[in-house]
Amino acid sequence: MSYLIDRRENAKNKNMVNRRRFMERYKQHIKKAVEKAVDNRSITDMERGEDVPIPAGDVSEPVFHHGQGGRRTIVHPGNEEFMAGDRVQRPQGGQGGGGGSSDASDQGEGEDDFVFQLTSDEFMEVLFDDLELPNMTKRHLKGTHSFKYEHAGFSNDGVPAKLSVTRTMKASRMRHIALNARRKREREALQETLLAAQHSGDELTLRRIGKQLQDLEKQIRKVTFLDDTDLRYNLHVKKPIPTSQAVMFCLMDVSGSMDQAIKDMAKRFYLLLYLFLKKHYERTEIVFIRHHTIAKEVDEHEFFYSRETGGTVVSSALQLMDEIMHERYSPDEWNIYGAQASDGDNWNDDSPKCAKILRENILPDVQHFAYVEITKRSHQALWEEYAKLEEEFPELFAQQHIRGVGDIFSVFRQLFQKRLAA
């Protein structure tokens, strides 16, 4: 006796919960691997998944077992040359051919790291875990596409496409029961008399009741299967979704003083920022500005890949940001963020000008502004000017220093670490 069942349509990922728990347990290892990966990767494949090695000892589930030593007898197959009483050299390391065959953990291969692969989604999730844009607030509701349709019960009229079959059938069924209740009761009574008549053999009554029953059946069948009044339609209503709009200004210095290595670091920093925004804030707009002596708004591709270069006037970028900001992104409606990266090299008399633009035009209207200085040398005028700003606006302005590739991710984390609401 066998039952054959097709389970192929059953839900997959029965083990998702367990996998999650496993990841939760080894979060530290995973984080470390992800951070290491970010520092080592070229900027073109930042989004790939990653192998996470976890030392075997940490994931092992220990049980009592025998250690090396003592006396063991093992039976092996495939004897070609040995006779009883032969002595054989102990294999090197005490393992290999002589190792305990019944106990896998005795053998050398158990010592490898446990490696498992994060999917690219998981990778990104771990990468940007606990990060957020600071001071995000709900601004003016805007935009036609921030509506969604929600189910709101049923109605008696609507378009055929929204017909709710179950509800309609329910209504039809109700109508049937209501209209036929009396007739069905009568039919039951008639059937009883019919039975009684059959017993007594009363031909006349039999025929009369038979006729009545037939009429009744006809009436019952006449109630229509579906009536206009049965039709029910799904009802949907439009609901606005409150959204918070944000725009991020990315300002990058591409002047001649920035050598290839520094530019690469700046790009990495922005790439992280870009991925972070794409992952967590789907509706965030990004404005890319690159500058040497003059600033220019560019698209994503040009921002990361163009090779233009020249002298340095940092204020040009800030000026352009100020213009774009006030032209296109009204502070009443937008959460505005800025991130600036440079090697700190600037015309000396330009630095106070930068601070002035920031202080007077930009900072009053933004949620947060971050400055990253990428250099191995000592700080120059720009850093010092900005240090003053940081004191003045501790909530709004932050600056950080990147010395080498290894710093990028930790600086990024510091800038966007989730803060507890004050």
**Residues at the site binding other proteins, with contacts judged by CB under 8 A:** 1-8, 10, 12-15, 17-25, 59-80, 82-90, 97-98, 101-103, 105-106, 114-117
What minimum distance in Å lies between the beta carbon of 109 and other proteins?
10
Please state the φ and ψ torsions of residue 376, each to the nearest 5 degrees: -100, -15
Nearer to other proteins, 76 or 222 (CB): 76
User: Taking Cα atoms as reference points, which of 263, 265, 176 lies closest to residue 220?
Assistant: 176
Query: How distant, in Å, are the alpha carbons of 27, 35, 422 from that of 127?
Result: 11, 7, 25
Residues 58/60/63/66 CA torsion (nearest 10 deg): -90
What minimum distance in Å lies between the beta carbon of 40 and other proteins?
22
For residue 249, list its beta bridge partners: 287, 338
Nearer to other proteins, 99 or 338 (CB): 99
Contact between 132 and 280 (Cβ < 8 Å): yes
Nearer to other proteins, 88 or 161 (CB): 88
Nearer to other proteins, 88 or 421 (CB): 88
What minimum distance in Å lies between the beta carbon of 151 and other proteins?
29
Nearer to other proteins, 87 or 199 (CB): 87
Q: Integer distance in angstroms from the first to the last C-alpha of the chain?
A: 69
Contact between 325 and 358 (Cβ < 8 Å): no
What minimum distance in Å lies between the beta carbon of 27 and other proteins?
11
Nearer to other proteins, 65 or 388 (CB): 65
What minimum distance in Å lies between the beta carbon of 215 and other proteins?
50
The Cα 318–Cα 252 span in angstroms is 10
The Cα 60–Cα 57 span in angstroms is 5
What minimum distance in Å lies between the beta carbon of 101 and other proteins?
3
The Cα 421–Cα 419 span in angstroms is 6
**Residues sharing a CB contact under 8 Å with residue 384, sequence separation 6 or more, in sequence order:** 351
Nearer to other proteins, 30 or 402 (CB): 30
Nearer to other proteins, 86 or 282 (CB): 86
Please state the φ and ψ torsions of residue 171, each to the nearest 5 degrees: -60, -45
What minimum distance in Å lies between the beta carbon of 10 and other proteins?
7
User: Taking Cα atoms as reference points, which of 287, 348, 282 lies closest to residue 315?
Assistant: 348
What minimum distance in Å lies between the beta carbon of 80 and other proteins?
7
Q: Strand 147-155 relative to strand 233-240: parallel, antiparallel, unpaired?
A: antiparallel
- DSSP 8-state code for residue 163: B
The Cα 419–Cα 133 span in angstroms is 9
What minimum distance in Å lies between the beta carbon of 58 and other proteins?
11
Nearer to other proteins, 29 or 368 (CB): 29
